[in-house]
Chains A and B, each alone.
Chain A
């Protein structure tokens, strides 16, 4: 059992959860993830580590309630426990002094882009962050991103905060302004990462994305998380999760993530129904 130390909603449906895990807290590096099983009948889900406190022995994850497991996790409060957590898994982000590095987070992807932005800054890069969300209420880690950035931008689809438009448009604007960009990290929904890859491709800017395929064990044993990179099979859990954006087959990733659509719908409907019943009682 792993104890939750604190739990706080950052935006609607997006919760920051701090969990006791001294070994993971000591070892984890930017870009790595944990596998979590919320309860005894739960599935194993991968979640990227947003931060850690080695002295306190805790790690932080930021979770958007999408399916049953993430909603169940988001219902947890400080003092509650989860059944299992294992990590840190995956290859840490490749960090070096690139020069000017742009770290782009879309939606809850910002939670994953943040620790890597911190590492890029520590490595001496000039860090530009672009923090995208649908609207103002869904912008997360605004202060943290500003603190770690030499330049920080917020974009919203509806223009309710910051730049009115997509993160891709902001990136294009930066490129068009004629400045040199040496490295781009993009983490968010698949269509966003794919679009970013297309923005940087003509300029041959090194671009890295963090992929989120369905996983079971997370240690290389099952191959369920295989992705096509440069037409070769790679396992996101042991070869990734970060890959060269210009070589990733995003369509295949997006297709493969739909394999359990029917079952996911069934799970979430049952869960929501049970939650309502519990509330009524």
Chain B
């Protein structure tokens, strides 16, 4: 069908195009990406489903307001490179966000089609455009404005830091990104597994930034290797952006959490994703051998699903999600939930762990759980789980992964006391500029919001970049 001569009725008759994927029985034995991506034909077909609303409400659902109607129209017309450029006006990482954004709670939730049909697969199309541009070797470096002579330090090379660096370098500022780990990319590298976000994509995005002139320093821990004050006063940076991510994993505070075989999701995923322990002994870092074992992951977010699906791929006999609420309250992306279900992940819903049990050698052997029911809504608006009396039971498990969120890393607070933090130790900012209480210091991402999404962190990085630019250039925001 032709993008010019298609009626709305014809558009609506097209079913939502399913993205080809590795079959579940195959993918549970490898770490390759689950989805294989749209072909150009499938992408055009899906793009034709967009009825090109006069008032595209989908844009309001996007935290960075990508011009969704426009880029989809370009895809429908076969102008794939134009579509990628259009997205990049608002989002520099389309291949990444197309894969990891919770579209069903954002743009696709707003799509007018959802009233009677399925929404346009906006995320899939975004991913297609970004991938098409990169895979065909057509990524063009954006123009960089003449040097302003200003220097900005970005702390953290995750989504917030990368997007902030990207905007600042294009505005003509010199940008240096400091990363604590030995590899760049932050949570995109240590947290999100290869089967959901191939690391090659992250590396390509970082390579692009390097070509634009962004300097990267690995093995530099903010607050320890270098403090914010040293960056400003000794290394003469004009501004600092803090995008260090969330940090310290929470534990549940129940007996037995220090038994052997009990991990935080951060540790389990870091060992696998960053340290490549699934390649042990070729790579030196070991990890619990899940093969033929029973693994339970506690939590209902994306990280929990990443962990449990990783355990399955490492050969776990039973891979459980233990979650104290029901499926409807799970914060994970819907698509990941569906993938997990198809991969044979077992969901133990409305159950809460009360104690880990171990043997004489202190190895984990099981977890005592209690069944829950949903009561009145709590502060989060979700129905509060309440324990059912006398419903305790023991689930035999060999490995436990706790994935109930993260607190804030204390290093910035300890070493830069003049940056105001909240009761939860997150950094307090002016949401219009991301400015902290300290002059010329900005912050964004999980260190401000607590655990949130890649796209929100990127949006914060961009807001900060704009504000830093205005401040350094003496532009009056009003």
Contacts and interface: CB of A to CB of B under 8 A. Distances in A.
Contact of B224 (A68, A89, A226, A228): A89
Nearest to B258: A252
Given A221-B409, A223-B264, A255-B260, A263 B362 contact: no
Contacts of B180: 86, 217, 219
A220 B247 contact: yes
20 contacts: A23-B225, A41-B282, A43-B284, A44-B285, A86-B180, A86-B219, A87-B221, A89-B224, A219-B181, A221-B248, A222-B249, A222-B267, A224-B263, A224-B264, A233-B253, A233-B257, A238-B410, A238-B411, A252-B258, A267-B286
B225 A263 contact: no
B283 A41 contact: yes
Query: What are the 7 tightest A-B residue pairs by CB atom distance, in nearest-first order?
Result: A263-B286, A222-B267, A86-B219, A223-B264, A43-B284, A84-B182, A43-B285
Dominant secondary structure at the B interface: loop
A184 B264 CA distance: 34
B266 A222 contact: yes
Nearest to A270: B281
A226 B226 CA distance: 25
Contacts of A226: 251, 258
B410 A42 contact: no
A259 to B, nearest CB: 5
A233 B251 contact: yes
Nearest to A255: B362
B473 to A, nearest CB: 30
B281 A263 contact: yes
Contacts of A60: none
B409 A266 contact: no
B411 A27 contact: no
Contacts of A266: 281
Interface string B408-437: 011100000000000000000000000000
Interface residues of B, number: 43
A180 B362 CA distance: 40
Nearest to B261: A259
A220 B362 CA distance: 24
Contacts, number: 120
B224 A256 contact: no
Dominant secondary structure at the A interface: mixed
A259 B260 contact: yes
Interface string B262-290: 01101100110001100111111110100
A260 B245 CA distance: 29
A56 interface: no
A171 interface: no
B11 to A, nearest CB: 47
Contacts of B411: 219-220, 238
A37 interface: yes
A131 B13 CA distance: 83
A149 B411 CA distance: 34
A87 B286 contact: no
A86 B182 contact: yes
Given A86-B180, A220-B410, A228-B258, 7 more contacts: A24-B225, A44-B182, A223-B251, A226-B258, A256-B258, A263-B286, A267-B286
A43 B362 contact: no
Residue among B253, B280, B286 facing the most chain A CB atoms (10 A cut-off): B286
Contacts of A41: 276, 279, 282-284
Given A42-B284, A84-B218, A86-B180, A221 B257 contact: no
Interface in A172-226: 216-217, 219-224, 226
